[in-house]
Structure 1
């Protein structure tokens, strides 16, 4: 067991050390001092490996502080600042329960997670699948508990929880997640289904779960989640279920099937040609009907030439990939519109008593528009189906600015249509609630939504051209991409906490969108031919 743990840590540390060396080489000035020979220098590399191991452990603690602090503590303190400490603690436990016990238990499963490490250890190094998975699970959930305890102690005690309550919550979550691991494994054994790969189910759980987590806080309703979760019968059931799962996972004999299923999908070390075929069959494969360019569509490419013609052909031949995400969002907006109008008409009297105002939504617009805007999937589709081959030619890289502008125009048309539909739906819902069809607040809302659609469109395409995060292994390789994406997405949390006035919020949004457009155009024009390349 200890030898397998040592091997497991050696693999993880080696991968992290190699990545650390690689990205230090990309830094200005310092990078030139780091030579490729460092990869083979065992003495120096051991030092780098120690640093990598320490960074990995610190990163584990940091992520838990970000998770508990940004997703739970800050919203509770921001929206419940005028409430009692008892109320804030109950909301904290409610949100923590929904997103950690329910959502994460469905969307995450270590035993079925596709990982390069799994392929290296079991397929190439011939470690026993059973021993590897046992050690992986032990390490995963021991560190899960250790990493989470400090964050829960800090934020829990700030809200009035005792040290014992914070420790009990962490223990209950750890045992619950172990039980969920066993449930995922048994579901796969009985049905062959990998639940974490059922995208529709997982995203439905995520959307419904997060809505159920934050809606009581937004409405000012206190729920009894804390009393239920911390009650003696529930604690006994969770602890007993977790310990039963620990025993069953330790005795489980069919890990080989689970490892095979996980390592065969999305594995970066398998044959590249087969990987590309599998990837294209899934998230980036267009429908067969897309290849049929009827006479009704051919006029859209008439008169075009060069990069304009190339991109017009791409968008036509992959129109299901281009229009599919937009159509899904429009359907969601339409369903939300119908539900909103019905609710407003049924409860118009109660809402008027609550002083319903469109201004309540402004702090949540960055989060809403971040998920509503298309961009990342479309950039991935462009990479797999078009740019991966053409990036190898200098004439295509040198014209990065030209096709950046063409694609920016097309993506803007998609996101502005979504923003328009969203604006219309909120206008109708506001009118159904008894508000005016046209007022200053609604006008600011429209301006803000349109500016955010522009901002996120430019953001996704700029990140693609300036950082180009995708590699020929068909996975993300640029950590700066993750950092910047996290930074932009975290703005939604800042907005919810600060809750700026509609006037200042709209002004900031418009300025940010305009500045981002200008900066993106300048940087892509200057550096695009160098940054837009195959990695």
Structure 2
């Protein structure tokens, strides 16, 4: 067992070390110092492997802190005002129980997970499937408990959960997840069904589960999940059946067939890179019907020349790629508005008692508009269907500034339409809530939404022209692109925690948008001819 576990860790750290070397090579300046010979330097690889192991362990702790802090504690502490300590306790345990005990137990199963590491260990290195799975499961749930416990002690105590209860919850969820592993295994053994591959069913359970987790909090209801889950009989039963599952998994003899089923080389879930590449190419492939242009549509090309004509043809011949993500977002925003208005009418008194207003929405606007903007989808479509061939020519790269401005105008119109629909939905919800809804907060809300739509339009197109992250297979290989986007994502999350007052927040967003709007064209004009190229 220990030898297999050591081999398992060696595979994981080696993969992580190779990834670190690869991405460091892609960094400017520093990348030139890292040569391909580093992959064969055993002494250096050992040092990098140690760093990789440390990073992996720290990442495990960080994920649990982020999970409990953002998904469970933050909604209780920040989104709802006036909860008592007992209510915080009950809501915390309820949300944790639904997401960790129900949703995660159904949507995740290590034993049947198609994984490249599993293929390398069992198929290429000829490790015993039984020994590999025993070591993998033992490591998975030992670290699961160790990673989760500190985060549970911290956020549980903040939510009124005692130290003993936090420890019990951590042990119980670990035992429950082991039991779920065994249930997945027996289901596959009896029926041949791999539950985690039933995508439609799994996502339906995820959506229902998350709705069930947060709905009592939004409706001001206090569930008694915590009282039930932390009762002595339930604690004993869950721990006992979990230990039985541990024993059954340890003595299980059919791991060979299970691993064979999970490591089929033609399984796209195993070859994650191939799956992503095929999915990305499919997502930017045009329909045949798009190339049929009728007389009315032909009029949109009249009077256009040069790059204006080229881009008009592109947007016309790939209209389904352009309109589909926009239409989906408009439908989502419309449904959000309708449902929001209905719920506001039904639970107006509860919302007023919880002091909900426009200011509640502001911290989430950056994150919402980041995901609502369609810039990244369109940039992929432009690269695959237009720029991939043309950017090989110096005249096209040299004119980067010209087609940047043309595309910026088009994309800004699309994102502003989404922003307008979102603003209308929020306005309707505020009107349904009653009170004086025509106020300065509503004006600030509209300014923020429109500014963010403009900001993210510029951002996605600027990142495309300056970093051009896509390879010929639509893989993203520019580490700076990752770093900048991670910074934007971190800033979006920070807005939720910082709770900046409405006026300074709005002024900051509008000012940053204006600066970006002025700086981006200048930088593209100067550096675009060199950076806008095939990787």
State whether TM-score is above 0.5.
yes
Name the SS for the 1:300 alignment partner. helix
Q: Is the 8 A contact 1:112 1:259 kept in 2?
A: no
SS of equivalent residue, structure 1 residue 431: helix
Task: Look up the match of 1:360.
Answer: 360
Q: After the TM superposition, which residues 316-395 of structure 1 pair with which residues of structure 2 at under 5 Å, given as runs?
A: 316-348=316-348, 357-395=357-395
Worse overlay, 312-321 or 502-511: 312-321
Mapped partners of 1:64, 1:175: distance in 2:
17
Aligned-pair CA distance for 1:415 = 1.8
Check whether the contact 2:219–2:347 (CA below 8 A) recurs between aligned residues.
Answer: no
C-alpha distance in 2 between matches for 1:390 and 1:248: 60
Classify the secondary structure of the residue corresponding to 1:299: helix
Aligned with 1:254: secondary structure?
A: helix
Deviation at 1:237, TM superposition (A): 4.9
- 1:503 aligned partner: 503
Q: Which residue of 1 aligns with 2:262?
A: 258
Distance 1:194 1:404 in 2: 46
Structure 1 residue 420 displacement after superposition: 0.9
Cα deviation 1:281-314 (Å, max 9, x = unaligned): 4x44444433433334333344444444443333
| Aligned equivalents of 1:266, 1:94: Cα separation in 2 | 34
After superposition, the Cα gap between the structure-2 partners of 1:264 and 1:50, relative to the gap in structure 1 and judged at 3 Å, is same
Contact residue 380 and residue 474 of structure 2 kept, 8 A = no
> How far is 1:72 from its partner?
3.3
Superposed displacement of residue 166, structure 1:
2.0
**Contiguous gaps of at least 5 residues in structure 2:** none
Give the SS at the match of 1:161: coil
Counterpart position of 1:521? 521
Distance in structure 2 (CA, Å) of the matches to 1:406 and 1:187 = 55
Question: Do 1:130 and 1:256's aligned partners in 2 also have CA atoms closer than 8 Å?
Answer: no
Q: Say whether residues 1:300 and 2:304 are aligned partners.
A: no
Residues in 1 aligned to 2:492 and 2:480: alpha-carbon distance in whole angstroms = 20
* 8 Å Cα contact 2:452/2:513 also seen in 1: yes
Which residue pairs with 1:414 in the alignment? 414
Q: Within 5 Å, give how 1:117-196 maps onto structure 2.
A: 117-128=117-128, 131-182=131-182, 190=191, 195=196
What is residue 97 of structure 2 aligned with on the other side? 97
Deviations along 1:494-532, whole A, 9 cap, x unmatched? 333343333222222212322333343344444444444
* CA-atom RMSD in angstroms: 3.7
Asked if the contact 1:341–1:432 (Cα under 8 Å) also holds between the matched residues in 2, the reply is yes
1:417 Cα shift? 1.0
1:42 CA drift (Å):
2.0
Counterpart residue number, 1:267 = 271
Unpaired runs of 5+ residues, structure 1, are none
Distance 1:301 1:134 in 2: 64
Note if 1:69 corresponds to 2:73: no
Give the conservation status (yes or no) of the 8 Å contact 2:329–2:418: yes
Change (3 A) 1:258 1:360: same
Change (3 A) 1:35 1:451: same
Q: CA 1:49–1:345 in structure 2 vs 1: closer, same or farther (change >3 Å)?
A: closer
Q: Deviations over 1:151-176 (max 9, x none)?
A: 22233234443333222222222333
Distance 1:244 1:264, change over 3 A: farther
What residue in structure 2 maps to residue 280 of structure 1? 281
Q: How many angstroms does 1:221 deviate by? A: 4.3
Tell me: CA distance 1:368–1:35, structure 2 relative to 1, closer, same or farther (3 Å): closer
Aligned 8 A contact 2:79 2:360 in 1: no
**Do structure 1's residue 8 and structure 2's residue 8 form an aligned pair?**
yes
Within 2, Cα distance between the matches of 1:194 and 1:409? 46
* 1:244 Cα offset (Å): 5.3
Query: In the TM superposition, what whole-angstrom CA distance separates every residue of 1:61-106 from its partner, at most 9, and x where no partner exists?
Result: 2232233334333444434676444433333333333333344445
- Aligned counterparts of 1:144 and 1:239: Cα–Cα separation in 2: 16
**Deviation string for 1:97-126 (max 9, x for gaps)?**
333334444544445555443444455445
Q: Which shifted more, 39-48 or 283-292? A: 283-292
The alignment's TM-score, normalised by the length of structure 2, stands at 0.84
CA distance in 2, matches of 1:188, 1:387: 46
Report the alpha carbon displacement of residue 135 of structure 1 after superposing the two structures with TM: 3.6
Q: Which residue of 2 aligns with 1:448?
A: 448
Q: From the superposition, tell whether residues 435 and 276 of structure 1 become closer, same or farther in structure 2 (CA, over 3 Å).
A: same
Change (3 A) 1:180 1:530: farther
Q: Which moved more, 1:237-246 or 1:222-231?
A: 237-246
1:233-275, CA deviations, whole angstroms, 9 ceiling, x for partnerless residues? 44345445544554565524332122217843472676xxx98
1:429-468 mapped onto 2 (5 Å cutoff): 429-435=429-435, 438-468=438-468
Q: 1:50 to 1:279 in 2, by over 3 A?
A: same
Work out the CA distance in 2 between the residues paired with 1:256 and 1:486: 37
Count of aligned pairs between the two proteins: 530
Q: CA deviation at 1:442?
A: 1.9
